[in-house]
Amino acid sequence: MGQSGARSDTLEVIRFDANGVNQTTLVPYKYTNPGTGAVSSTVIDINRLGFTDTTFVRGSGNFNLAIFGEGGAVNGSRAMTYNVSRGFDPNFPFIDLGVSPASNVSDFIANAFSKVQGVAINFDGSLVAIRGDSTYLLSGAALRLQGVLSTTTGNAGIDFHPQNNAAMFPLSTRLIFAASSQPLIDVYDTNCYQKIAQIQIRDPIIGPVKAALRPTGQLVLVGATARGVVIATLPNTFTTTCP
């Protein structure tokens, strides 16, 4: 019926193993009281179910944390992190402890209420980036705001230096790369949130940006433009004078 049906239903989760076997059907919202045998469940309101449209997903380099951003054309997009090491609470109501805690910000006067256009996460998951009207840097564990980057609107591309981590050293790794409305890639310091450099390219990037390191030590940036893919190979020598 779709989301416009104003209906509710129970939610079934199907787990698919990565190699295509050992598939399991899970119904985590159904609970049987061991004392009385009574069965209860959580009913899902389909109209309030999040992440039903385009979803942005990035994983940390150490494979412990992931960031999810709700896309689509609707304002008020949401974002959350998932920590694979925190486990699952088997008591009722069932709680997946890996999901970052929810906060209702719909009534905040200063709530930007913008669209999520892209997400990124650094190597150890200590810092995540949500790109909307600006780019918001948040702690990976609790999604607490750390700083704001004055990136341009309408561009989605964002990615951390592949070795960016909580230590913030060496200075050449304390970086994040953001697509610009101009044929540029802006380079920001993730500690003081200031722009420290710009990389000139042929066309503006309108899609994602991915940063990687070659075995030779060269920094490679890949971005999607209206006329194809741009690849910039650079020396890994960017640095910053921010405190």
What rounded mean pLDDT belongs to the chain? 81
- Contact of 223 with 201, CB cutoff 8 Å: yes
CA gap 113, 175 in Å, rounded = 27
CA gap 137, 166 in Å, rounded = 13
Q: Which CATH class is domain 50-234?
A: mainly beta
DSSP string, 19-38: TS-S-EEE-TTEEE-TTT--
Query: Residues with Cβ < 8 Å from 101, sequence gap 6 or more?
Result: 142, 143
Task: Please report how many Cα atoms fall inside a 13 Å half-sphere around the Cα of residue 54, on the Cβ side.
Answer: 11
C-beta neighbour count of 105 within 10 angstroms: 12
Length of the chain: 243
Please, what sign has the CA dihedral across residues 210, 215, 219, 225?
Answer: negative
Give the model's confidence band at 42: pLDDT under 50 very low, under 70 low, under 90 confident, else very high.
low
Of 108, 84, 106, which is closest to residue 97 (Cα–Cα)? 84
Of 167, 170, 165, 200, which is closest to residue 186 (Cα–Cα)? 200
- For the chain, percent helix, then strand, then coil, each to nearest 5? 5, 40, 55
DSSP string, 87-110: -EE-SSSPEETTBPPP---TT-TT
CA gap 120, 137 in Å, rounded = 9
**What integer is the mean pLDDT of 175-202?**
92
- Token pair for 196: 């420290």
CA gap 50, 74 in Å, rounded = 11
Residue 80 has pLDDT above 50, yes or no: yes
Which single residue is written with the structure tokens 């709680």?
Answer: 95
Give the model's confidence band at 2: pLDDT under 50 very low, under 70 low, under 90 confident, else very high.
very low
User: What pLDDT digit, counting tens, does each position of 166-187 carry?
Assistant: 887 778 889 999 999 999 999 9
User: What pLDDT digit, counting tens, does each position of 120-175 carry?
Assistant: 999 999 999 999 888 999 998 788 889 999 998 777 899 999 999 988 777 888 99
For the chain, give every residue range classified as CATH 2.130.10.10. 50-234
